[in-house]
Amino acid sequence: MKAYLWFWGAFLLFFALPFPCILYFGTSWPLALADRSAPWLSLLLLVLSLAAWLSLLFAFLHFLLLGPPRALHRVRSILADGELRDALIEHAEQTGVHVRGFAQWKLQLSFQNLSATPIREQLLVVDSKPQLQRFVAGQRLEVRLSREPGAFPNVVLEGAQPELDVASLWRRGVGAAIGIVAVASAYVFAYRLQSEGLGWTFLSFGHPLLVCPLVLCGYALGLRLLGRLLQADARGDALKYRGIGVEAKVLKVRQTGTYLNEQPQVEFQLEYIDREGNVQQARVRRFIPLIELANLPREQVTLLYDPEDRGNVRLEGM
């Protein structure tokens, strides 16, 4: 799986970094005087380029460098004040990774969320006490749930001893420093090579200094939208950990006309009664395999809704 992700990561980075440079210097260089941008446009493109790179730097610092310390603080808060739950181990297997000589396990747990709705979750843990044989399918463990679900993590094994991977943080910090130096050097190199005493007028909408950060920003935005679509973000986790399961009446089922890998998107118009006894309506869209279209529920479905965000719903069991 990791090799697969590394391959696609390298593939996408090629089209974000080397490819725009190859394309630009193969088709637009050397730059004729008539093809240079107006001074006001070149300054606008320069500001846009710098803003895109700074946005990427902010995202890197926020999620990859400062994210682990925030997660550590959140884990400690959950251990101190989280809601205790009894979890059943449905499946347990070693990942093959060892941390300080101890095996890492991937657990499939089943427990009740904050609203007493049964949910399942996967949890990676390091077995520092292998002699106790705690991680066996069928056994039960105590876990703590965040009282304010949302950002990862939301569930922690009771008695866990969290710590930072300092070596990984150092590698990320060094990588960020190398990236900053590389981008700054690219600006200096491009200016000395292409300015010819005319300032930044060599910048254009197809210049790598603008195209590269915009493509990377597009990747980041695409990942965020994909996470939102799959409900694999903070809003989706909030729904999972405090959502209430109800039976919803199907009012209407229709295809939206959108396809993903030849699978049609289907919209369900639903009606349900919330825990306060009020009638609510919701619309949920799902991509359904063609062979399952004939078996779509037409009367009732199981719906999970967020009591603090009634527009945040999803279908269960499909």
Tell me the per-residue pLDDT of 151-204, one tens digit each, with 9 for 90 and over: 889 999 998 888 888 989 999 999 999 999 999 999 999 999 999 889 999 999
Residue 309 burial (CB count, 10 A): 13
- Residue 252 CA, chain-centre distance (Å), reads 31
The predicted model gives 4-19 an average pLDDT of: 88
Q: Which pLDDT does position 2 carry in this prediction?
A: 66
Which letter does DSSP use for residue 295 in this model?
A: G
Tell me how far apart the alpha carbons of residues 193 and 19 are, in angstroms, rounded to a whole number: 19
The gap between the terminal CA atoms of the chain, to the nearest Å, is 25
Tell me how far apart the alpha carbons of residues 304 and 314 are, in angstroms, rounded to a whole number: 5
Tell me the per-residue pLDDT of 224-273, one tens digit each, with 9 for 90 and over: 888 877 777 888 999 999 999 999 999 999 999 988 888 898 999 999 99
Tell me the per-residue pLDDT of 211-225, one tens digit each, with 9 for 90 and over: 999 999 999 999 888
**Long-range contacts (CB closer than 8 Å, 24 or more residues apart) made by 43-51:** 43/200, 45/200, 45/203, 45/204, 45/205, 45/207, 45/210, 46/200, 46/203, 48/210, 49/203, 49/207, 49/209, 49/210, 49/213
